[in-house]
Structure 1
Amino acid sequence: MVTGWSLSRRVFSVPVPLLTTNFDVKKGDLMLTLPVVVILVIINAILAGSRSVGGSGTIATLGLLLVFFFAIRNNVLLLELTGISFERALFYHKLFAYTTIVLSALHGLAYLLAHHHGDEQDKYSKVTTGTITLVAMVLLYAMSLSFIRRQYFFEVFMKTHWVLFITVFIAGVAHGNILKEERDTNMGVIASDHVSVAALAGNITRVSFPRVRRDTGEVFKFQAGQYAFLCIPSISKLQWHPFTISSAPHEDIVSFYIKASGDWTNTVFEATSNNDGTQFDILVDGPYGHVSTDLENPETYSHFALFAGGIGITPMRSILNWVHYEHSTLGRSEIKTVRFAWAIPNLDAVKALIDSIVPNGEERAVPVGYFSREIYRDDASSAFHSDFYVSGDVEDPVDQQLGHCLHYGSCFDRIAILRGLGEQAKRDGKDRVAVLVYS
């Protein structure tokens, strides 16, 4: 794991001027990924020129395997060897998808050249399945373009991605005459009992369930900052949406806070508002992802700057309460200072998130409240210092304990916060500060 973190932080996460900004290409990509892509294309071009149908098909198959490999959630092999997260792996998934289209086209060219020179006989089934595979991959590429995926047809993109992926898989297997039984490796966790869904202020829906199921003893294990996919079959059996886990790993209740901002999230909020406390059968698939900053190793960081905006508080809450638990309960004395700043347009989110009602009467493993008390306690000796900046609302005594934390009509000055924290780190003999931002 140490080697993985080293590769991720020192190679694959190092930005390159212009390339990172415009194309998301980093140092590790220039050293390894792009050369691999170029080598694959050159080899297949040579094979196509020599009319090697089988050889060019093998290279195209290798490219397709890499596409599938980088699309795997919780890719333990990739994470352990390199420290590359699933989110970054999606970049390589797209890169090798584009590359595979080129490799497949070269494979088709190899067949056309071989057929033209009499090296290959007519193989209508091969041509049909190969054409279907290539066309499906091109359509996948077209539907994945950012202006289509993000602005217009996200739901269409998701559904066609699955349909076309299945098409590519079936046609590809038939094209290569490889018939295998595929096992269903769905690792989703079904949380159908003891689920609580509540509508809160600010059009926020809270979904909660016990971390340990009382009927089976099954434990939902996760790390701070991770996310999971949620599906509510009574609303839609086909829609799975990713949400960050708001709870810390040590807490008894696993919670998700969902802001109503789209068709599905609005439907969930409306259904919950019409009958507060409604019980839903919920499917949970996860957890996935990990925080890119090494927070677990006590020797790496002792000073932390945490910035959140709006509903971005949900992953930050998980991280912040976990860091506090490490410091106060597990005695992690290496944690010296944690500065937390949260910018919000109004007090609705604060009113929703400081709600200390515990779903289904479950007991907490931590003090009541959305955060542990010390995190927003007015104590100069505390390692934790929090400030909530409300930009568009009037002063309102939401909670007496938050009085010194709330600042109205302004936003946090991240430069000043980082400069001050950096100076304090130097005084403590440290040369680095962990910075996390969620919005």
Structure 2
Amino acid sequence: MVPNDKTGVTRRDLLKTTGAGGIVLVGTTAGCLESSDGGDGGAEDGGSGGGNESTGGGAEGTDSSGGGGSGQDSYSIGMVNALTGSLAPYGERNQRGTELALAAINEVGVGSNDGEFSVIEEDSESVNQAGVNGARKLVTQDEVPLLIGAVGSGVSIAIFDSVVSGTDVVQISQNSTSPELTNKPDLLRTSPSGSAKGKALASLVAEEHDTVAVTWINNDYGTGLSEVFAGSFEGDVAYNTPHDQDQSSYRGILSEMAGTDATAWVFITYANEYTIMVNEAYDQGFNEEVDYYGAESTVADSIIENTEPGSMDGMTGITESAPVDQESYQQFQSAFEDQFDASPTVWSAYAYDAVTIAAIATEAASEFTGAALQEVVRDVTRPEGEQVYTFEEAKQILADGGSASDVNYEGVSGPVDLDENGDPPGYYQIYRVADHSYEYGDFITG
């Protein structure tokens, strides 16, 4: 990864309070499992809200005579985020990344009037139906032309199929990694597909084991990643069975895994579910008999906080990672730590980039409508344009007569470069649990 030596972002840009251009919270944030981001960690699968009014969403008040939404005073987009439920530990990370992105954007302003940019947020409750309800409210009532969402792959796909498909609305998922999203090229995302991660995880396990037992959460995320893993693992997959979300016990699954001759157990699941599994396996001494492996969704502060020391020491896995040597990420990290007294994760950076791409597309579009945004949203991330690392740099190119294809936004999470399937490149890191904390090692690209 080439460090950025030209970024114009300042900590003042990132730390400016969001003011009128902040996140409009709809519903409740009760039930979040963490109060801080912690170290680099994972996300994956996760309501309709009240009567907040859009402050400029949809086609209302637009003027098709010029770029940047044509000089509106305000622009609102939507976000479906996991504020409650299994993915709540990751929803708060999204909010923080979003807040920093809005601060940087609104320091400059969008369009010829330097209008305010804001996000109307709905809670997916980490499940498909609530996510669909929230997205439908944002699209039909708030009339947003662009929707960021969701955390969970199943929620993102359900939103696309039920609300977005067949419309001009642009959807960008901030956190969904299932390979299934690749089959829906109009469903964009800032986090990479799990295909490369699944193959890398299979290779990592095969270095030490020739027989594995796999359990995966029964949704699009678990299905997609488990299929890639099983298809890539060179040894014997002795057990490959799904488990349901939000169960109070998984002792039956664990007993079945223990009944195999597998020397490695692979957990493709979420923080709440994995926490229960770790505790129940520890009670039965299974952790002393096999090695644990996982992906990004088995990394969360809440897991460490709610499991016994030593219960998963030695666990190894692969998670999405940020390019920590890139100057723009270091600027983001510094601002994040100052603002929230916590270290960011790559998932916060993905949310930051999704909001920034939305603002740059708004600046580049002929009008603030879904159809106009569709025409430019991929172009502003493509490598053919001039590399920019901030909204301000992108706006300057566009103000000087440049078009969307003249801009190549390089995100704080790494190159975005949305391809024909709506996927960015992957950037991963190996992690291990030692002394009941996460440690990070080698990087992998995919």
Q: TM-score range by the shorter chain?
A: under 0.3
More helix by share: 1
- The higher-RCO structure (CA 8 Å, 6+ apart) is 2
Larger Rg, first or second structure (1 or 2): 1
TM-score by length of 2: 0.26
